[in-house]
Amino acid sequence: MEDGSRNRIIPVPAAVMQGSGAFGLQSAVLSVSEAALLPHAERFRGDLATYAGLELPSPTVEPDASGGSVRLELGAVERTARRTRGVRADGASPDTEVHRIVIDEAGVTVRGASEEAIGRGLTSLVQLAALGGGVVPCGTIDDAPELAWRGLSLDVVRRFLPVDEVKRVIDVLALHKLNVLHLHLTDNEGWRLHIDAWPRLTEVGATGAAAGRPGGFYTHDDFTELVEYASERFVTIVPEIDMPGHVAAALTAYPQLGVSRPSSAGSLLPVAYLDPNVEETWRFVEDVLREVAAISPAPYLHLGGDETFGMDHDDYVAFVDRAIPIVKGLGKRVVGWQEMCRAGVGPDEVIQYWIDFASLTGGDEAGPADAIPSEVRDQLAAHFGEAFSDLARIAEKRSRLLLSPTSTFYLDHPHGDPSTDPAQEERRSRLGLQFYPARSLEAMADWDLSSAIGDVDPDAVAGIEAALWCETVETSDDLQLLLLPRIAGVAELAWNPSRRPAWSDHRTRLAEHSSMWHRAGWSWFRAASVDWP
């Protein structure tokens, strides 16, 4: 049994046994053990066409695999040595993705106890076919992730992303076996989901975006379309309605609900928060969360809870402690940003850790550490001072920990590597928040989970989630340059946090996988640290 170092899949499989010979998919017959697998077989056909340029005939339901076939079978798979720990955003068992791929010169069998497990195996097979010109090496792959929650938080507020563009992001996640899309739907710059009970949220609050860009919003039908598209690709959408802070757009529509002050000489950080002492605020909170819960099948709702600049601490705690039971009353569980651990959270809540301070101190790489004005740094230091104790709080309250440390998993860091494309070099100077230190692909790949969680029990880690904020994103191409190839590194760290591959191996895989990104029409940042073909 080998460790997969000769395998070309991203993320690296748990266990690979190399065989001899190969199988060509060019003339393969696609068969399934039961009709429920037909949609996944059809999607596999589509992915083969997109990423490998291969066309297979339509799949059939056959009782037994025949020679020259790619066979999909639902059934138990003997557990590998790997245990998946954490929390799944769809509420399923962490072991849902265990699968086995057996390839010999007569054909391929993909087996798993769930449709999702088979889907993950098919993704590996698509990658092997695309990278091998339709020919896949013989052997056995036993695979499952180490962490159950592997996702991306996507900011659709600072730049509104139409439905088709969000679908393209979902495609990128699915190709890299990430299984959560956390949609950041509301913020100071806009409100992106229509709420029937409070129509001015989108009539007024959705009209613009950051830096004078056009606004927009999703109807309930739009949101349902995205949920279904993602679910078909084994990605769960978790909606975020940020509160009590980051609500300037909501307060533009309904100013009676809270306090809003733009940045000023006295306070360079914008103030916008819902007032828990106003009873109409609670009608608003209940109405909004009820509508979101009704159209979102995921068992989790993200309540935000971050950066409540200007809000009294006791008011913040009172808000969180009243909002959590509302979510639970709707049959959902709460995800919240790190600051929420300072309120009455417990084992039922997932706390998203993000403040690791490297972005404020300059980190370990060259970067514009003094790009934040000193008075803003002072205000941030005062606001974030409590964060040094947050991991201890999370451990004490036994909440689940979702890891999104800014210095590694915030994809709006400027690129630390130069690009081999001169046109990208010009864009590199404006993409990403310039007060963050630039981040290289190698530094990201070197992140270590065990040193990041402090005293938190490793079994309390829900998973890993990157975040892509869009303050500097003007076009779809900009978005893709921040997303790729970094998201492949995120996928690797989330699938294999305890045995991530060496940078020399990872960079080789990135170069190979760029052929699939090219076929799919995606842009990616051509970091000079990788030998792109």
Q: Are 464 and 497 in contact (CB under 8 A)?
A: yes
Cα torsion angle, 429, 433, 439, 440, sign: negative
Task: Dig out the tokens for 492 from the structure.
Answer: 């690797």
Instruction: Identify residue 173 by its one-letter amino acid code.
Output: L
How far apart CA 43 and CA 47 sit, in angstroms, is 6
- Exposure class string for 200-236: b at 16+ Cβ within 10 A, else e: ebbeebbbbbbeebebbbbeeebbeebbebbbebbbb
Cα torsion angle, 233, 226, 238, 178, sign: positive
**Is residue 73 flagged as an active site residue?**
no
β-pairing verdict for 461-468 and 60-61: unpaired
Q: How far is CA 233 from CA 171, 181, 205, 315, 485, in A?
A: 8, 11, 31, 41, 20
Q: How many residues does the chain have?
A: 533
Q: Are 387 and 338 in contact (CB under 8 A)?
A: yes
How far apart CA 178 and CA 491 sit, in angstroms, is 6
Token pair 């992106």 is found at 192
What's 345's DSSP letter? -
Q: Are 185 and 222 in contact (CB under 8 A)?
A: no
Residues 210, 213, 215: CA angle, nearest 5 degrees:
90
Rg (CA), the chain: 23
For residue 62, give the 3-state DSSP assignment. coil
DSSP symbols for 123-184? HHHHHHHHHTTTEEEEEEEEE--SBSEEEEEEE-SSS---HHHHHHHHHHHHHTT--EEEEE
Cα torsion angle, 116, 117, 120, 125, sign: negative
How far apart CA 5 and CA 11 sit, in angstroms, is 11
Cα torsion angle, 455, 458, 462, 466, sign: positive
How far apart CA 531 and CA 533 sit, in angstroms, is 6
**Catalytic site residue from 116, 189, 240, 307:** 307
How far apart CA 226 and CA 150 sit, in angstroms, is 18
Token pair 């592997």 is found at 150
**Which residues participate in catalysis according to the annotation?**
307
